[in-house]
Amino acid sequence: MALNRRDLETKLSKITSRLINEKGYISFIDVFIGLEYLSKSDYEEWRFKRVPYLEKVIKINPGKINFIMKTVRKNSLNGNLKPSWKGYKSWGKGRKVDLRFSRSGDHNIEETYATHFVKPRCET
């Protein structure tokens, strides 16, 4: 069943809160897996270079992907989380290569996908 935007925002809030509590950061991969728009097996296929770009196996349209990413980014920055770039390299034997997230390979889109939102460290 497709979620409307309000229901999706509610579900996003629960998923991102859980990720912060469990991992200390939010990644778009974890969000898409949590929403069940990306399966763990499809994610692994991408990491092993069997899928040319991640969007090919995310089971929603680009408009919804964009909405989710903008919402997570906005909420993360409003929650004082720190953006942190994380490179994604391939798994398996042989040379490790940078993985592609989008069909276009546009630098800005790739950088957005690879950004994690990290809980700030407490100063003591």
CB 75 within 8 A of CB 19: no
Give burial (CB, 10 Å; 0-12/13-18/19+) of 55. Answer: buried
pLDDT in tens, 31-71: 999 999 999 999 999 999 999 999 999 999 999 999 999 99
pLDDT in tens, 76-118: 999 999 999 999 999 999 999 999 999 999 999 999 999 999 9
Domain residue extents for the chain: 5-118
Longest dimension (CA), the chain: 47
> What pairs with residue 98 in β-bridges?
89
Residue 26: closest CA among 120, 99, 109, 110: 120
